[in-house]
Amino acid sequence: MTAIESLLLQGRSDCPKCHRTFSQSYSMYRHYRYECGDAPPRYQCPYCAYCSKWTHSIYNHVRKKHQGCEVKLNKRY
Ligand SMILES: [Zn+2]
Ligand SMILES: [Zn+2]
């Protein structure tokens, strides 16, 4: 079991890396896994190499840079 899994089992919802507190432990896990610190960007623009950790950044990017294209994103993992 990893350290993060044992925190989840204890019902903890504060990130062990940056100590942000979340209302749900799964929100903390998602944050820890995909957003916190130097986690690689999870989402990518389907039309170019632009990547971001946040879906709204990709959507904004596609609306601005790829006007007329369907607003969507690729998950990198
Ligand atoms: Zn964090
Ligand atoms: Zn793009």
CA of 18 to the centre of ligand 2 (A): 30
Per-residue pLDDT of the chain (77 residues; tens, 9 = 90+): 788 899 999 999 999 999 999 999 999 999 998 888 887 899 999 999 999 999 999 999 999 999 999 999 999 98
| Alpha-carbon span 40 to 26, nearest angstrom | 19
CA of 76 to the centre of ligand 2 (A): 14
28 and 16 Cβ atoms separated by less than 8 Å: no
For residue 57, the ligand closest to its alpha carbon is 2
Handedness of CA 52, 54, 56, 57 (dihedral sign): negative
pLDDT digits (tens, 9 = 90+) for 34-49: 888 887 899 999 999 9
CA of 41 to the centre of ligand 1 (A): 14
| pLDDT for position 3 | 85
For residue 62, the ligand closest to its alpha carbon is 2
| pLDDT for position 39 | 78
pTM of the model: 0.64
CA of 46 to the centre of ligand 2 (A): 7
Question: DSSP strand E in the chain: where?
Answer: 43-44, 51-52, 74-75
